[in-house]
Amino acid sequence: MMHLLEESLTWTNFFIFLFWGVVMLLLILGFVTYAIYFERKVIGWMQLRIGPNRVGPLGLLQSVADVTKLLIKEDTIPRKAERELFILAPVITFIPSFAIIATIPFSDKLFNANLNVGLLYYVALSGISTIGIILGGWASNNKYALLGGMRSAAQMISYEVPLVVSVIGVIMLTGSLNLHTIVDQQAGGFWHWYFLPQIIGFIIFVIAGVSELNRTPFDLPEAESELVAGYHVEYSGFRFAFFMLAEYVYVFAVASLITLLFLGGWHAPFGFLDFIPGLVWFLLKFSFIVFFLFWLRATMPRVRVDQLMGFGWKVLLPLALLNIFVTAIYMSIIS
């Protein structure tokens, strides 16, 4: 793919880009479909319930049936809503979540784009989804949806700050924003992975990432009873599905970033295991992070909004800033 970027854009190159874009979209949709299924099965297993088991063998087609139901449901738009913005809001929320997948490398040879500022690209685009959430609440012309949108935006912005600051330590250690370079610096065994020297940043990134995903225990946008389901209360059918789709695509992105930034990416934990393809190691680590997110949802209680905001600004942000100073001292000692 990279050599195509160095050539002039031709129709052949255009169709190649289009083909790979469609392939990535299908892969993401497949991940979302079965991530929902496995989430329900894992949570059911942990809570001594059965989970989906009726539609298809072992219930494997349950998520397909749910998506089909959303596709054929009536698409309602409130009479006094800002129609154009109401329609546009789910698209603005979803497109950045899909676009950031372009810079995520799955192995040293399997990637779409190798940007020198790949990490910055993720941070910049992921913030755009907040605009879609605010628009969805405001354009609905519903005060409950507006309050839900503002609360969701406050949560996402508040936790995006420690999320970004927590990775500065990794950037300092590698001297690069390129995800390939960051992974390459972690070769040679798990003791070179950055979750060890950057344990504070690693914990902050995981917690802030969960909040950015609006997942338990920080799932206030979709679960506030007094807000009647929050910013998407007026949405139905596939427009509602777009908001949920964006959330699960961000699950894919955040799990991938944790794997790349802190868990060595596609590198094996021990040198004698290098014969196993890098893609396998990436998928194993990625799957563990996704399972961990499901595990949290099955076990953690939901926090109050004042606890959520206070924890972000009073605990995570100071710790993230402290991590920068600790990293600087560590680098000065070993240099």
**211, 60 Cβ separation under 8 angstroms:** no
Do 19 and 86 lie in one domain? The reply is no
User: So what's the pLDDT on residue 220?
Assistant: 78
User: So what's the pLDDT on residue 90?
Assistant: 94
Name the domain count of the chain: 2
Which range of residues forms the domain containing residue 214?
Answer: 80-334
**pLDDT tens digits for range 164-197:** 999 999 999 999 999 999 999 999 899 999 999 9
Do 125 and 88 lie in one domain? The reply is yes
C-alpha distance from residue 3 to each of 13, 17, 113, 139 (Å): 10, 12, 10, 43
Q: For residue 2, what pLDDT band results from cuts at 50, 70 and 90? A: very low
Do 126 and 109 lie in one domain? The reply is yes
Do 171 and 315 lie in one domain? The reply is yes
User: So what's the pLDDT on residue 96?
Assistant: 92
Do 189 and 139 lie in one domain? The reply is yes
What DSSP assignment string belongs to 272-293? GGTTS-HHHHHHHHHHHHHHHH
Do 65 and 94 lie in one domain? The reply is no
* Residue 10, Ramachandran bin (φ over 0: left; ψ between -120 and 50: alpha; else beta): beta
Do 155 and 284 lie in one domain? The reply is yes
Burial class (CB in 10 A: 0-12, 13-18, 19+), 270: exposed
Do 217 and 305 lie in one domain? The reply is yes
CA separation for the pair 130, 92 (Å, rounded): 9
Do 119 and 207 lie in one domain? The reply is yes
Do 205 and 280 lie in one domain? The reply is yes
Asked which of 51, 72, 93 is the last residue of a domain, the reply is: 72
CA separation for the pair 302, 211 (Å, rounded): 11
User: So what's the pLDDT on residue 104?
Assistant: 92
Asked which of 72, 91, 112 is the last residue of a domain, the reply is: 72
* Mean pLDDT (whole number) for 261-287: 94
Predicted TM-score of the model (pTM): 0.92
Do 15 and 100 lie in one domain? The reply is no
Q: For residue 8, what pLDDT band results from cuts at 50, 70 and 90? A: low
Do 68 and 102 lie in one domain? The reply is no
C-alpha distance from residue 173 to each of 16, 104, 122, 163, 318 (Å): 36, 20, 19, 17, 20
Q: Is 256 helix (H, G, I), strand (E, B) or coil?
A: helix
